[in-house]
Chains A and B, each alone.
Chain A
Amino acid sequence: MTRFALIGGIYSNWRALETTLSDIARRQVEATFCLGDLGAFGPYPDRVFPLLQQAGVLCLQGNYDNSLAGGLADCQCGYTDPRDNYFARLSYDYTFRNTSPAHKAWLGTLPMSRRLEVNGTRLLLCHGSSRKINEFLWESTSPDGFLRYLLDDADADVLCVTHTGIKWHRDLGGGRHVVNVGALGRPENDGMPRVWYVLLTITDSVQVKFIPIDYDHEALAADMRAERLPGEFIETILSGWWTTCLEVLPQKERARGHF
């Protein structure tokens, strides 16, 4: 049996990351992988780096990391709505200003994807999709046939992604799976402040278990206030409902939310 922990979308939420890494430490995993986007909405971007490095987490570049490392003008999140872009800009400018040059350089050394083979099962880990770093794979807009195409195209049996911030798992049969691991950085627009990560267990089959993490979100909100981050971001951390960067949500995911 081989077991991995998969985390994604940390968005500078160092408190959720710390709690998650303690939880993972109790579960005897072979390795922990982070699928990218270390920075975004949260406070003190530099704080997540030592936590990840001390725990030996194997990280990938997300679009945010790619932007920070390359000194790009925006986060490449893929928003097109003016209000979404306004908040994305606030978040990116803050994160850019507060991430040290050494950490930016380190982000630039991270791979864009990782391939693993376990007992003949071929895993591909990436940020958005296997074909694009900022492609959104939402549950309600990722049909089975399309996911099979992605797996065929990438020569993989299991594809693990993040980028959207909302978790899901599709068992396509024949040992083929696609998993969106969700995000640690902000709750998943369900009215609950908790966040999620994935335990992936490979025996003669693949098992996906989503693990909820309750962390001190009130303390994170206090950090964010101290850093004068937008009230909208703080409201999401406290309420569990997304208040910004909403216009990319498909109908089903949007209809489930509050805003």
Chain B
Amino acid sequence: MARAISPRKKLMWTALAWGFGLLIFFPILWTFLTSFKAESTAISDPPVWFFFDWTVQNYHDVLERSNYPLALMNSIIIAVGSTLLGIVIAVPAAWAMAFVPGDRTKDVLLWMLSTKMLPAVGVLYPLVLIAKYFGVMDSRLLLVVVLMLINLPIIVWMLYTYFREIPGEILEASRMDGASLKNEILYVLTPMALPGIASTILLNVILAWNEAFWTILLTTVDAAPLTKFIASFSAPEGLFYAKLSAASIMAIAPILIMGWFSQKQLVRGLTFGAVK
């Protein structure tokens, strides 16, 4: 039975929720508005809200001054590539830990998670040296591999929790039915875990898309994704708020749209399989 809530309380909570929602959304809204202002309006004090001369000049300038399509392509390749590579590696790992756990499985899982607690900058220097040694600095391959490694613990954990929900008897049934390990994973486990795998992919694409430490430090031009693209508008020539805003909107729009369409899957992903 639904709990009875008085109208006044309901009104209060609604206002509070909307308040928080707007607070969180405000920076994006402000960036969006600024991206349509002239540079002078963008820094005016007091700020101008809606009533200014709307212009798309910033978008023109941004597209002219830098290679947006390349950055977009790099972002897509790095985010999707690192996630899919991670999935391919994580599925067997998660299968083993979920269905044939050993005495130390819990420890291994915790150890994997603990690598996420390490400050990334701690391995920056060795990683740059390794990349230079192999001559892969500023390459998509490097970014795909690095981001895959960064997100692998999360991918394994998420898949592990989803796999745990799948009854072991069904996998045993497939073994009795003559399925090899490969067929068991391909025809039975993967289709059953598909919602979980989809959530995992979505969340990790977003994480990789937004990753701004490694992507900025390990790229210059060729493999530079959208994060680097935004950063390039904040630095040497001084601050151009309007152009920076336009660049930001262009960088976050694709992932925002994707997130909007896959809300349901994402919520599932973020609850880590706790809610069925």
Query: Is B one of A's binding partners?
Result: no
Which residue numbers of A lie inside 8 Å of B, CB to CB?
Answer: none
